[in-house]
Structure formats: C-alpha cells, structure tokens
C-alpha cells in the first residue's frame, strides 16, 4: 500500500505546527522532549556529524531498532525486507559488491549479508553505538562466516575505499537526516568507488515546496535540487517512480556515472 505524501507542506511553518498539535495532542510531550534534547546536543556538538552521532547515541541507548526509525520489531523486519526486495528486483545479485552507507543496526543489512557472497558487503556508519548494535545483529543471525565489513566513518568522502569497486551503493534514510553539504560531499566522491555499470540508490524526504529542516534531524529536498547536485559531479540521477508505491514515506533516486 502506498503512503500518501504531503509534498507541499512546510513543517517549520507556525500554522502547520498548530494544526498538527491540535490533531495529534498526544505527540506534543514527546516532541517537546525531543526538541529540548536536540537543542542541548546542538550546543555541545556544533558540526552536524558530531551532533547526529550524539543523537544516535541517545536513541540507541533506548532502542537500537527505534534509533533507525522502527519503533516495533515487526516494522524493523518489514522495512529491511522492503529494501532487500527492491534491490533484488533492480539488479542486486549474490556476486554484487555492495556498499551500505548508514548501515545502522543492519535492519536491511543482515539480509544483504546473508544473500551476498562472503566479504561482498561493506557497511559504514557515523555512529559507534549503532555499529555495536549491528555486530549484535550479525551474531544473533549467525552470519559471522559471511565476513561482512562494518566500519566507522566521520564523513562521506569514502577515501578509505577502493576505486571502481562497488556494483551497488545504497543509502536508506541517510540523506533525510543530512544537510545539503553532506549530500554534496557524498555525491562528489561516490563516482570514484562505483564499478563500471554500478549504481547508487538513496532515499530522501521529498518536497515540492520550500526546502526545510526540522530540529536538525529531518531534511526535506526537492528532487531537482539533488539531481542537480549529482549532475555537478558528472552523475546522472533518475527518479525511481516504482518505489513510490512500496509503502515507504521517502522517495528514491538512482545515480549512475554519466
């Protein structure tokens, strides 16, 4: 079932906040607590990577699955299956070499690891706390012999990875939490690590109105903005229209070498 998206709303507008609060009064206290927590973290972590790493540490202490956006285990499993099934339908094979940017606690990653040949999965994340949870997922699923790589990173320059190596690069719910300069950094370097014929799929929170962010955690972009960034770095971006009906609130772009 598709998710109905309000693509024009500006979530920072006072009128929207009032309407939302009146319609969802039970969500006001959690929002206030989150806003206070995020403001405190922002004061102590001025750059976005260290700030979001602190957000993930806080969220992971409560629940690793909730930290990656799944408040129930069934939902965690379903969203992982969604990502896995989509990539299998769109070119992923057991022989593919895959880079999973923002791998989290392996919500989808454990399925990729199980499916791919040993050593063909490389997951990176900015959060050491969520990577510890990822290793627990790996152990719980008995996938140690698949020899996945799970690596901490502080940026998305990908400078420690080999050239022209990955057939599939994947970033699910990463750019939805990233300011434009971090997305630009990734797009500036991802072409170097893509193998010939490879592709980079990423999701983002789409808007057709004013681009905006909420609490420095959720960022909303127009499709043409991100496609334009890709073009600046010699990449071609294609809107994945068939993703829209998959039951996920974000949209997806596929980037390939131009």
Gyration radius from the chain CA atoms: 18
CB atoms within 10 A of CB 52: 21
The torsion angle over the Cα atoms of residues 13, 14, 16 and 21, rounded to 10 degrees, is 140
DSSP per-residue letters across 9-63: --TTSHHHHHHHHHH-GGGHHHHHHHHHHHHHHHHH--SHHHHHHHHHHHHHHH-
* Strand partners of residue 124: 101, 151
What's the average model confidence in pLDDT over 45-67?
A: 85
> Which pLDDT score is estimated for 133?
94
Quick one: pLDDT at residue 120? 98
pLDDT of residue 5: 65
Q: What is the helix, strand, coil percentage profile of the chain, to 5?
A: 45, 20, 35
Are 110 and 79 spatial neighbours (Cβ–Cβ below 8 Å)? Answer: no
Domains of the chain as residue ranges with CATH: 14-257 (3.40.50.150)
* Per-residue pLDDT tens digits for 192-220: 999 999 999 999 999 998 899 887 778 99
**What is the model's pTM?**
0.89
d(CA 257, CA 254): 10
pLDDT band (50, 70, 90) for residue 22: low
- Strand duo 235-239 + 251-257: pairing: antiparallel
- CA 159 to CA 137: how far, in whole Å? 27
pLDDT band for 1, please (50, 70, 90 cuts).
Answer: very low
The C-alpha atoms of residue 85 and residue 16 are separated, in whole angstroms, by: 35
pLDDT at residue 160 in the model: 97
Name the residue among 104, 127, 107 with its Cα closest to residue 51.
Answer: 127
Task: Give the pLDDT confidence score for residue 2 in this predicted structure.
Answer: 47
Give the Cα separation of 140 and 206 in Å (integer). 35
């Amino acid at each position: 079932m598709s998710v109905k998206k309000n693509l024009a709303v500006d979530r920072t507008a006072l009128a929207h906040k009032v309407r939302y609060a009146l319609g969802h009064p039970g969500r006001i206290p959690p929002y206030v607590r989150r806003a206070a927590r995020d403001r405190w973290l922002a004061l102590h972590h001025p750059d976005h990577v260290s700030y979001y790493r602190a957000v993930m540490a806080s969220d992971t202490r409560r629940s690793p699955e909730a930290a990656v956006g799944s408040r129930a285990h069934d939902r965690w499993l379903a969203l992982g299956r969604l990502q896995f099934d989509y990539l299998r339908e769109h070119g992923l094979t057991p022989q593919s070499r895959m880079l999973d940017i923002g791998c989290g606690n392996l919500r989808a990653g454990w399925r990729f690891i199980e499916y791919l040949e040993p050593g063909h999965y490389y997951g990176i994340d900015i959060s050491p706390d969520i990577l510890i949870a990822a290793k627990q997922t790996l152990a719980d699923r008995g996938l140690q012999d698949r020899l996945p790589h799970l690596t901490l990173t502080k940026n998305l320059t990908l400078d420690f990875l080999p050239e022209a190596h990955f057939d599939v690069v994947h970033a699910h719910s990463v750019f939805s939490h990233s300011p434009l300069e971090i997305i630009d950094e990734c797009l500036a370097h991802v072409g170097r690590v893509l193998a010939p014929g490879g592709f980079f799929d990423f999701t983002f929170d789409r808007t057709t109105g004013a681009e905006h962010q909420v609490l420095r955690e959720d960022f909303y972009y127009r499709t043409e903005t991100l496609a334009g960034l890709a073009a600046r770095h010699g990449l071609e971006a294609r809107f994945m229209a068939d993703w829209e009906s998959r039951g996920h609130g974000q949209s997806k772009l596929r980037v390939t070498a131009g």
